[in-house]
Structure formats: structure tokens, C-alpha cells
Structure 1
Amino acid sequence: MKIKTKKQLNLPQLIEWAWDNPDLSHGMTFISNGCERVKIEFRYNPRGVLNLDILNGTSISNNIQFTLEEFEEITEDKWFSELVIRTVAGDYILYKQGSINDFKHLAFNDVEAIYIPNDDLTMTLIWHDGKLIEE
């Protein structure tokens, strides 16, 4: 299963991501978060050299952040900062920090489902009936 994640990166981190992911970053445009609106675009030339174009903005401060959305593979060992467990009795319990493997056998197999809480107050079902949800 894959889920979409959002990460806040500064410009050096975003450039490092672009170098590590040339197929994903080529042609992508990012607009900074906050007051300083900086728009940048990544392109690779035919020799495989990364070009960074600043499309607007004259300077970039240290604290400018960009949002990167990418898909991440979910496994039962992946570590989460928060997970919501639904028990067979219908209770929902929020747990801080752990993996599916840490929680799937709580209280003598009382776990019915495991969710990831989202920023918009919804939840994404990732584990049910003893296995990961398939895409």
C-alpha cells in the first residue's frame, strides 16, 4: 500500500531530494510557503545535470519552506508518529509512535482496524482483517 505524504523542506533539502530523485523532480515547480513567495523549477539537461530556475523572487532566506508531496510505501514495520486503533468493541484509541506490528495484537487480538490520522481530521484505513489494505 502507498499513501501520499507531505513534507516541509527548506531549499537545500529540496535540492537534495531533486538530486536523489531525477525522474520525479524533472519539470516540477514548487512555490514556497508563507509570505516570501518564491517559485522554483527543476530541470535536468541532456547530460543529466540538474538546473534550478528561480522563476520569481530575488532572494531566498534560510527559513523559506516548500511542501513536497510524495507517495510512500506502507509496511507493517513502518514507524508512524500517530496511529488510531479501532477495537472489536468499536472503541477508537489514539496511539503515539509505533508501527502496525507494535499494535495489531493488542489486548488478545482485540484490534479490528488501524488508521493513520490525516491533517484534515479524516483517517486513512491501512490495516483491517489481519492484513494491510491493498491499493
Structure 2
Amino acid sequence: MMKIKTKKQMTLPQSIEWAWENGIKNKGFVGSKGGRVEFDSKGWFKTLMIVEPDEIFTIEVEEEITERTIIPNLLEVYEFEGELVFLPQKEKTIKDLLEESALEENVTTKTFYLIHDDGTLTLVWKDGKLVE
């Protein structure tokens, strides 16, 4: 089972709930307006700064990839009339792309790669299934 890290935007209540549900400890987050929240060694929430009601926290989360996972940056490799085609995709699921390809004649999907922020690639789908 493969996992990816993605960035999620959350309000203060959402970020507290996420942190408690995921057992976050010894970690702090800075909001869009400079507010800072922290979770101590017991997972208790505290803030030493003012946090505005509409402040947004960007939190990196790790989630398991399925064919229904929306992937921020994906490289689709398919064969069209005997030629390999490399097509970057944004905010798509593998399932949606496979369904689109199935509607096209002479298109055979070969692989999908996760495109990381640093430009490197990780193979996530090949031979009709997700890679382990």
C-alpha cells in the first residue's frame, strides 16, 4: 500500500480535530495570518498568539493512494497509435483518467506517476493496478 503526502487547508477547528484524530504531538502550525498553534507532548492544544476566526492552516497529511484519490500532480503515460504520450494532469484521480481513456479509440494507458514538488517521479500505477 502506497502513501502520499499532500497539503490540506483547514480552519482552526478542522486542524485541531485532525490533530487529535491523528495523535499529533510535539508539533506546531502557523496560520495564514501569523497565528500559531501547538500540540504538546501529550497532544494537548495550545496557542500563545491570537488566531483570527478566518485563519487558514496548511497542514501536510499522509494518505493512502487508491484509484479514487485526487492526486495534485500526476503524469499519465499512454500509447496512442503506436506512440507513447506523456501527459501531465492536475487534481485528477486515476479512476477518472482510466474512464476517459476507455472512451478513446487506440488509447492504451501504460502507467501513472506521482510528480513530486521537486520534479521527481514515483510510479503509482502499472499493468492495470496500483503498485505496492
- Determine if the TM-score, normalized by the shorter chain, exceeds 0.5: yes
Write the letter of the residue equivalent to 2:84.
G
State the SS of the aligned residue for 1:104. Answer: helix
Q: CA RMSD, aligned part only? A: 2.9
1:73 and 2:74 aligned: no
Cα distance in 2 between the residues matched to 1:40 and 1:75:
31
Structure 1 unaligned regions, length at least 5: 45-49
**Structure 1 residue aligned with 2:108, among 85, 92, 110?**
110
State the SS of the aligned residue for 1:110. Answer: strand
Tell me the percent identity.
33
Question: Are 2:110 and 2:127, in contact at CA under 8 Å, matched by a contact in 1?
Answer: yes
Structure 2 unaligned regions, length at least 5: none
| Closer/same/farther in 2, CA of residues 36 and 96 from structure 1, 3 Å limit | closer
**Counterpart in 2 of 1:85?**
76
Q: How does 1:31-110 map to 2 (within 5 A)?
A: 31-34=29-32, 36=34, 38-42=36-40, 44=42, 51-54=44-47, 56-57=48-49, 59-80=50-71, 83-88=74-79, 89-95=83-89, 98-104=92-98, 106=101, 107=104, 108=106, 110=108
Cα distance in 1 between the residues matched to 2:65 and 2:87:
20
Report the TM-score when normalising by structure 1: 0.69
Bigger mean CA offset, 62-71 vs 94-103: 94-103
How far off is 1:86 after superposition?
0.8
Question: Are 2:114 and 2:122, in contact at CA under 8 Å, matched by a contact in 1?
Answer: yes
Question: Are 1:18 and 1:42, in contact at CA under 8 Å, matched by a contact in 2?
Answer: no
